[in-house]
Amino acid sequence: MNEQLEQLLPLELDYVGPNAQLTYVNGTAEYYMLWDVHSKGRQLKSPLELHLIGSYARATKQLRIVNDIAELQSIKHRSQFNALVLRGASVIDRENITSNAQIEAILARPTKDAGVAAFIKYHYELLSLLKDRFNFTVNFRNSRGWAGRLGNSSFRLGLLGIIQRNEADIPASGSFNRINRFAEFDTIHQSWKFETAFLFRFTPDLDTHGKSGNFLAPFSTKVWLFTLATIIIINLIWLLLEYINKRWHAQRQQQQQQQATSVAHTHRSNWTERILHIFGAVCQQGMEPIPKDLPSRSIVVTVFLFSVVMYNYYTSSVVGGLLSSSDQGPASVDEIIASALKISFEDIGYYKVLFKENKSPIVTQLISRKLSAARSASELGVYGHIEDAIPYLKSGGYAFHCEVVDAYPVIAKLFDTNEICDLREVSGLMEVDIMNWIVHKNSQYTELFKIAFSYAAWCVLYA
């Protein structure tokens, strides 16, 4: 019982942090002394801190409480880190960012920086709140990306790899919700809504919803071809029936009937008039002269019924399209891909991971149809910065995909009122998600930081 504290906690037992619930008992001839033991981070060479809980007299068998153990192990008592330097990590997708001073200078700026996502700066501000609350500082290391694997192995790359291997205590970044990450990371806070979209300016050539400018739209190409083939076949059948009818009448014995029939059928056998008759029936404009024989009348009735069905559907589709047209332009990612818009993305890491690892049909189609072709020097590249992309959006013909919260401040400076009214937003390529602020699994700071943010949220709600 008289062992030294460092012997009680051997060197390999380094995982003693502010969440520790250890009681050290030091025995003497007269008393047992009970001590609460914790550290702000043994991995940071932070010393062990001892606070007396109470003493137990051997002779009288009385326990004297000096400090409440619940109070000693509470966040209120353990929230003073005494300027301890925690290990931090962040993602800035730029070259030659190596020092902590560079990282701090970039993340502390309130303006948009190239290679820095909006949620990075948001979580940096949250981290600043923790630094003030617990009195610690952070020494950052930079990563160019968030995720990835080394070949086919399980070795994680990027920011997630740093956190998983416990090489950093807290990141200035959020993480997407993924099922396979819950076993490797703890979540201390959720508040940032990650929302990306294609931004483009509407021009008349992008009117995909309104059918006012395209009267072929109610029917697909196959339906139009089938209708044309049906009309041609009906013409041929009618001419064939008239030819057979004429031959049959020519064989009759009576000269007067043969002559009348010859005159009548000579008139009906004119193929140009038959085409006009069919066209008039399809357009519901009537027919003159009206056929007298039963086969021809059957064909005419069939054509009229066919035209009524087609005409009713066609007119209702056109009128519905005219009434519902709002000049919105493409409204989905598929329509963006099918449009004449040239597509570009913000030059930031998660898009490169998306195109490399996501094999969904829509991403594959996007790459093959929109991103594979070479571009001239006067055009916006596949990847670009928001400040460079917004002027292209203003001129029209381009769609730029980025976090909308980053784009709108720049748009407000460069677009006038009419141009802002023409601006369109199409989401769907990347899911809208509430990001997780993560730490290492079973981190000694998980509960401490989680309680701090829960209390802050409670104060905001009930203020």
**All structural domains of the chain with their residue ranges:** 5-77, 85-195+434-462, 199-208+329-431, 221-253+271-323
pLDDT value of residue 16: 83
CB 26 within 8 A of CB 41: no
pLDDT value of residue 449: 94
Token pair belonging to 123: 């979580």
* Whole-number Å distance between alpha carbons of 310 and 302: 12
CB 146 within 8 A of CB 160: yes
85-195+434-462 and 199-208+329-431 share one CATH topology?
A: yes
Is the confidence at residue 6, as pLDDT, over 60? Answer: no
* 233-242, 318-327, 447-456: range with lowest mean pLDDT: 318-327
Out of 142-156, 251-265, 321-335, the most confident range is: 142-156
CB 18 within 8 A of CB 444: yes
* Whole-number Å distance between alpha carbons of 164 and 157: 10
Token pair belonging to 264: 């009548």
Cis amide prior to 18 (ω within 30 degrees): no
pLDDT value of residue 349: 83
* Whole-number Å distance between alpha carbons of 447 and 189: 11
Structure-model confidence comparison of residues 206 and 456, the more confident one: 456
* Whole-number Å distance between alpha carbons of 364 and 367: 5
Statement: the pTM of the whole predicted model exceeds 0.85: no
Structure-model confidence comparison of residues 353 and 63, the more confident one: 63
Is the confidence at residue 319, as pLDDT, over 60? Answer: yes
Is the confidence at residue 4, as pLDDT, over 70? Answer: no
Token pair belonging to 138: 């952070």
* Whole-number Å distance between alpha carbons of 356 and 359: 8
Q: Sign of dihedral through CA atoms 99, 409, 362, 173?
A: positive
**Residues of the chain above pLDDT 90, percent:** 40
* Whole-number Å distance between alpha carbons of 425 and 201: 9
- According to CATH, the topology of domain 85-195+434-462 is D-Maltodextrin-Binding Protein; domain 2 (3.40.190)
Structure-model confidence comparison of residues 318 and 447, the more confident one: 447
Token pair belonging to 451: 């309680």
Is the confidence at residue 251, as pLDDT, over 80? Answer: no
Q: Which CATH architecture has domain 199-208+329-431?
A: 3-Layer(aba) Sandwich (3.40)
Mean pLDDT of 123-147: 93
Structure-model confidence comparison of residues 350 and 206, the more confident one: 350
* Residues 257-313: tens digit of each pLDDT: 545 444 444 444 566 777 777 777 777 776 677 777 677 777 778 888 888 887 777
* Residues 333-369: tens digit of each pLDDT: 998 998 889 999 999 888 888 888 778 899 999 999 9
